[in-house]
């Protein structure tokens, strides 16, 4: 592609991104200005496979290979807002996938630790995030059920794959006054839940029903 058409395409994507934020995110009630700005800044089309590039800003998830998906923009915006992050926050993400959610977090907080169980996806996300200079984001390949004890405690934990119950190690690695945002449940439709740690106890709030890929172990068995 020539230089001029690349510029034209980037302009087109920038307009689509602006429209995505207005029609999908703000219109549905996300108000956190940091989150909205992060969603304007991160070029979602860089995290989507070539054959779906044109669909990057549509109102839904998209396949990223290995049976996995990049989440719907609204769900990314909602989950990020629910974490109530600021520029001092340390965040753990389980399920790096494309790296898009990690980039959004990287725009907002002090440090992001993200774990992906599919090596190919994790490596790809790691390279892309490094190319884009997200120096605050650290990617690791492994089983996120266990969290990242060496880097704990975390002010926020965001889980982008769904277990049937909340992993104990993640509860332990949440800081006092920290929040975990996680889709959880035994059925195919999960509940998006926020757990807020207050005086060492977890206060649970149900948000909305959501659909997420399952959290699995290294044998591919569901948690
Ligand atoms: N946050 C991602 C979307 C991820 S889809 C994005 O922005 O693109 C969910 C991801 O969770 C998949 O890539 C899947 O491989 C991963 N996953 C599933 N079980 C996991 C586990 N136990 N530990 C870490 N990652 C896991």
Q: Give residue 94 CA to ligand 1 midpoint distance, Å.
A: 6
Determine if ligand 1 sits within 6 Å of the CB of residue 125.
no
Angle between helices 33-41 and 100-108 (to 10 degrees): 130
Q: 143: how many CB neighbours lie within 10 A of its CB?
A: 16
> Which residue among 66, 73, 78, 116 is best mutated to probe the pocket of ligand 1, counting the most ligand atoms within 8 A of its Cβ?
116
Determine if ligand 1 sits within 6 Å of the CB of residue 137.
no
For the CA of 121, the closest atom of ligand 1 is 13
DSSP 8-class letter at 71: P
Angstrom distance (rounded) from CA 156 to CA 91: 5
Angstrom distance (rounded) from CA 83 to CA 63: 25
Q: How much is the pLDDT for 6?
A: 83
Q: How many residues belong to the chain?
A: 223
Determine if ligand 1 sits within 6 Å of the CB of residue 94.
yes
Phi/psi for 43 (5° steps) reads -80, 95
For the CA of 118, the closest atom of ligand 1 is 15
Angstrom distance (rounded) from CA 189 to CA 209: 6
Determine if ligand 1 sits within 6 Å of the CB of residue 147.
no
Angstrom distance (rounded) from CA 88 to CA 85: 8
Catalytically annotated residues:
71
Which residue from 176, 180, 219 is spatially nearest to 201, judged by alpha carbons? 176
7-44 pLDDT per residue, tens = 899 999 999 999 999 999 999 999 999 999 999 999 99
Angstrom distance (rounded) from CA 137 to CA 122: 12
Q: How much is the pLDDT for 2?
A: 67
This prediction's pTM: 0.97
Contacts of 87 (CB under 8 A, 6+ apart): 108, 109, 110
Angstrom distance (rounded) from CA 122 to CA 128: 10
Determine if ligand 1 sits within 6 Å of the CB of residue 32.
no
Phi-psi region of 164 (alpha: psi -120 to 50; beta: other; left: phi over 0): alpha
The partner residues of 198 in beta bridges, in order of sequence, read: 201
Q: With beta carbons less than 8 A apart as the criterion, state whether 38 and 102 touch.
A: no
Q: With beta carbons less than 8 A apart as the criterion, state whether 90 and 155 touch.
A: yes
Q: Which residues of the chain have pLDDT under 50?
A: none
Residue 24, both tokens: 């999908």
């Amino acid at each position: 592609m020539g230089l001029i058409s690349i510029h034209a395409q980037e302009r087109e994507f920038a307009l689509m991104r602006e429209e995505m934020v207005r029609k999908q995110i703000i219109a549905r009630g996300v108000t956190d200005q940091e989150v909205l700005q992060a969603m304007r800044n991160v070029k979602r089309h860089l995290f989507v496979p070539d054959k779906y590039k044109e669909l990057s800003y549509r109102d839904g998830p998209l396949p990223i290979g290995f049976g996995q998906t990049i989440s719907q923009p609204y769900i990314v915006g909602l989950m990020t807002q629910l974490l109530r992050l600021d520029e001092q926050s340390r965040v753990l993400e389980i399920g790096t996938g494309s790296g898009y959610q990690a980039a959004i977090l990287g725009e907002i907080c002090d440090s992001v630790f993200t774990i992906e169980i599919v090596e190919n996806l994790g490596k790809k996300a790691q390279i892309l995030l490094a190319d884009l200079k997200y120096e605050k984001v650290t990617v690791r390949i492994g089983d996120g059920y266990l969290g990242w004890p060496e880097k704990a405690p975390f002010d926020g934990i965001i889980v982008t794959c769904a277990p049937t119950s909340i992993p104990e190690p993640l509860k332990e690695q949440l800081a006092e006054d920290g929040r975990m945002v996680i889709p959880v449940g035994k059925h195919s439709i999960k509940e998006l839940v926020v757990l807020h740690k207050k005086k060492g106890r977890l206060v649970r709030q149900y948000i909305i029903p959501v659909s997420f890929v399952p959290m699995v172990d290294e044998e591919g068995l569901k948690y």
